[in-house]
Amino acid sequence: MYRDRIALYRKLEHLRESRLIVMVTGDRRGLETQISPEFLDYMVDHLDVIQRADKISLFLYTRGGSITAAWSIISLIRQFCDELEVIVPSRAHSAGTLMCLGANRIIMTKQATLGPIDPSITNHPLAPAIPGQAGITYPVSVEDVRGFIELAREEMKISDGSDFTQVLLKLCDSVHPLILGNVFRATSQIRMLARRMLKYQVSDSDTVERIVAFLVSDSGSHDYTISRTEAKNDLGLNIEKPDDELYGIIKAIFTDIKQELQLNEPYDPQQLATSTAPNPYSYSFKRALLESVEGGSNAFVKEGQLIAIPVSQNGITVTGIQDNTTYEGWRHEQL
């Protein structure tokens, strides 16, 4: 819980001679959250309390989210400090990796990983629909599109102008041309943002271009993970390995957060509603956190009731689950 973590937050601030902000987007299966513009207003509140610091440490755990929100959050934080470091206890993937690029240094535990920042278009009305799932669409990534084109050129040896035109037309049969344009426009944008972010930790222009190329396209898959060793030795990012004392604090903070957000426990409404009493089962789940010592805790929560209802199907009675959400939004806790 937040009140239990305060002592650890103060220890970390003392050790790093900085002011700490903790940002977590939960990835509990069934209750996933992402980096979004909503974080900006709450981040402002924490920074207004800090006012100005020589150094800010951002403790970050995320699977990703909005690229523009990630850029805006880092740009905002940098207005309040001379030096920014990002502490990665476990995962800072996709848009989270972009945030790491905007720091002066990245502190990574031995289990921490970064990831590619290649963009994908999700939940767009023109994206390819998933058959049988109304309103659900396939995400379209630049790597998927590039892979299809490279398959035609390199594996199938299609290079003739008219034949290659047919390949592109076939692609457009499955993916709307506006989505394809959107994907590559997003790619150009993220390359630009990554270059601007990297100026704080990498000065050599060739190294910057190599890092950007790898993270945006050359890694081959959005699921690729980048270890601390690869981030430092192969990519050339400014990576710091925590000593035993710092590692112990980082691990203790993240362990407490994992327990509070139940990150290792898949959300199973059927199991909760049928194996616990009473019926209905009342719930309150924290799904994301933004915390600091003086600024308190902002938690994105979902609250409601799960009701087990007998349902007859072909003469057989089964248990259906009705989820009555009564609240979904941010709540604030102060010491």
| Residue 203 belongs to some domain of the structure | no
In this structure, are residues 330 and 321 in contact, taking their beta carbons and an 8 Å threshold?
no
In this structure, are residues 23 and 290 in contact, taking their beta carbons and an 8 Å threshold?
yes
The helix (run of H) or strand (run of E) holding residue 173 is helix 161-174
b or e along 219-244 (b: 16 or more beta carbons within 10 Å of the residue's beta carbon)?
beebebebbbebbbeebbbbbeebee
pLDDT recorded at residue 5: 97
161 shares its domain with 253? no
86 shares its domain with 155? no
Backbone φ, ψ for residue 69 (5° rounding): -65, -40
| Residue 44 belongs to some domain of the structure | yes
| Residue 297 belongs to some domain of the structure | no
pLDDT recorded at residue 159: 65
Q: What is the mean pLDDT of each run of 10 residues along the chain (335 residues)?
A: 95 98 96 94 96 97 92 97 98 96 98 86 58 59 65 66 68 66 74 94 93 82 87 96 98 98 92 77 94 97 90 74 92 90
CA distances from 115 to 49, 108, 173, 184, 257 (A): 32, 13, 31, 19, 22
- Beta strands 316-333; 296-313: pairing state: antiparallel
pLDDT recorded at residue 293: 97
| Residue 51 belongs to some domain of the structure | yes
Place of tokens 């993970």: 225
61 shares its domain with 46? yes
105 shares its domain with 178? no
Which of 266, 294, 328 delimits the end of a domain? 266
pLDDT recorded at residue 39: 96
pLDDT recorded at residue 78: 97
| Residue 155 belongs to some domain of the structure | yes
The helix (run of H) or strand (run of E) holding residue 74 is helix 67-78
DSSP 8-state secondary structure symbol assigned to residue 31:
S
90 shares its domain with 77? yes
95 shares its domain with 240? yes
Could you tell me how far CA 234 lies from the centroid of its own chain?
23
96 shares its domain with 52? yes
Torsion of CA 172, 176, 178, 180, to 10 degrees: -60
In this structure, are residues 22 and 9 in contact, taking their beta carbons and an 8 Å threshold?
yes
| Residue 284 belongs to some domain of the structure | no
258 shares its domain with 153? no
Token code pair at residue 288 = 């994301």
Token code pair at residue 202 = 């990498």
b or e along 159-176 (b: 16 or more beta carbons within 10 Å of the residue's beta carbon)?
eeeeeeeebeeeeeeebb
pLDDT recorded at residue 189: 84
110 shares its domain with 156? no
| Residue 230 belongs to some domain of the structure | yes
pLDDT recorded at residue 125: 58
**CA neighbours within 13 Å on the CB side: how many for 331?**
11
pLDDT recorded at residue 181: 63
- Give the number of other CB atoms < 10 A from CB of residue 104: 15
Which of 238, 266, 294 delimits the end of a domain? 266
| Residue 29 belongs to some domain of the structure | yes
DSSP 8-state secondary structure symbol assigned to residue 37:
T
pLDDT recorded at residue 32: 93
3-state secondary structure of 237: coil
Domain with 124 in it: 120-183
246 shares its domain with 173? no
107 shares its domain with 6? yes
231 shares its domain with 260? yes
pLDDT recorded at residue 277: 65
Q: How far apart are CA 247 and CA 87, in angstroms?
A: 10
User: How many separate domains does the chain show?
Assistant: 2
Rg (CA), the chain: 23
